[in-house]
Amino acid sequence: MMCSRMLKHEKHGAIYEAGERILNGLNKGYEKLLKGALRMRWLVVGLALVAVVGMGVLFGMLKSELAPTEDLGLVLGVGIGARRCHPGLYRQVRPADGGDLQNHSRDGALLHGGRLPGG
């Protein structure tokens, strides 16, 4: 009882009212669409089955490959080392790894690039 005296009905602006009309129209249209789908439920189920079978056929037509054929097996890694770090020092510390990699150094950055086995 007291709420009816405290709460007052507010008037909304023109933009709010236009938005409400649009949303109410969408709601009514969706309701009609759902009622129509429920009246023709066998048609809806049939279309769903056709879609599922079509997806299965299209999936069967796909090529089965893990990696694309354009993959060259090239890996590039970038590492920022200490100021005096350079490819020559790397080859002294790890001589077995240094011969196979392409090393480039600029401003303390050491770049390593090499091919993967089998690539």
Tens of pLDDT, residues 3-24 = 777 777 788 899 999 999 999 9
Per-domain boundaries in the chain: 14-61, 74-115
End-to-end Cα separation, the chain, in angstroms: 82
**Ranges of the chain with pLDDT below 50:** 98-111, 114-116, 118-119
The pLDDT score that the predictor gives to residue 91 is 63
The pLDDT score that the predictor gives to residue 1 is 64
Evaluate if pTM is beyond 0.75: no
